[in-house]
Amino acid sequence: MQNPKPGKIYAVGVGPGDPELVTRKAERIIRSVPVICTPTGTVDASSYALSIVEEFIDRNHQEVLVQVFPMKRDQEGLDTFWEKAAAQVAERVAAGKDVAFITIGDPFLYSTFLYLYRIFRDRYPHLEIEVVPGISSINAASIAADLPLGMASDRIAILPTTYEDEELRRTFENFDTIVLMKVSRVFDRVYALLQEMGLEKQAVFVRRVGSADEEVVTELASLVGRKLDYLSLLIVKKNLW
C-alpha cells in the first residue's frame, strides 16, 4: 500500500486575545485542517490560545491535541516535552494530515512554537512548514495603553524580564520605548528600578490585552505586592508626545 502524501504544518498566530483580531488567513486554516495543536502549561490547565479560536473549531470533525509545555527552568527536562510534542505532530503529518499549531500573538516572537520549530528543522527537515503571522500582545497593548511604540528615530527595545537590574538599567537609559514581557514574577523589582530612575510615571502595565479580562494600569504602585497575571507586560515610554 502506498504511503499517503505527507501533510503540512502551519504555525498559526491567533493574536493577543480578541477573536476579532485573528487574521482571515489564520481563521481559514484553523477551520480547514484536521488537527489543531495547542500548548498549555499543565495537564489540568486550559489553553488560552484555544479559547481565542474555539468558535472556529468543529470538534466533531477535527482533532484537538493539547500539548503540555511546563513552565520550568530545567532545560533538559523541557527538551523531553518538546521532543514528544514534535513527534506527535510529525506522526500526524506522516499520516497525510495537515496540522495547525496555534500560539497566542505571533509565532516568531517569544512563542512556544519556536522550540518545536528548532526540533522540526533539526530532526524532521523534510516537513513542510508555513508560519502564519499574528498580532502580538505588544501591538495590542500599545493601542490599549494609548502609547505609540515608536515614531521618527525612536529606539525600541523588547525583552523578557529575566535580566538583572544593571542590564535593565542600561536598556532604560539607551532606548526610548521599552517593552518588558512576562513581567509578573519580577514586577516589584522592576518597579523599584523605575522609581529609582524616575520613570515610574512613564510606564503602563497591561494584562490579558484583547480579552474580557483586559486591564490597563497606570498607577503602578497599586500593583506592588500583588500576585500578577502571567500574561502581562509593561511598556515604558520615555518621550510621551
DSSP 12-26: EE-BSS-GGGS-HHH
The pLDDT confidence band at residue 229, using thresholds 50, 70 and 90, is very high
Q: pLDDT tens digit string along 109-120?
A: 999 899 999 999
Q: Is residue 94's pLDDT more than 90?
A: yes
Q: Is residue 203's pLDDT more than 80?
A: yes
Rounded to the nearest 10°, the torsion over CA 15, 16, 17, 19 is -20
Q: pLDDT tens digit string along 146-201?
A: 999 999 999 999 999 889 999 999 999 999 999 999 999 999 999 999 999 999 99
pTM of this structure: 0.92
Would you give the end-to-end CA distance of the chain in angstroms?
Answer: 67
CB-side neighbour CA atoms (13 Å) of 210: 26
Average pLDDT over residues 70-97: 84
Domains contained in the chain, CATH given: 8-132 (3.40.1010.10), 137-237 (3.30.950.10)
The pLDDT confidence band at residue 70, using thresholds 50, 70 and 90, is confident
Average pLDDT over residues 32-39: 96
Q: What is the pLDDT of residue 72?
A: 60
Q: For residue 16, give Cα distances in angstroms to 23, 144, 232, 233.
A: 12, 12, 11, 12
Q: What is the pLDDT of residue 216?
A: 98
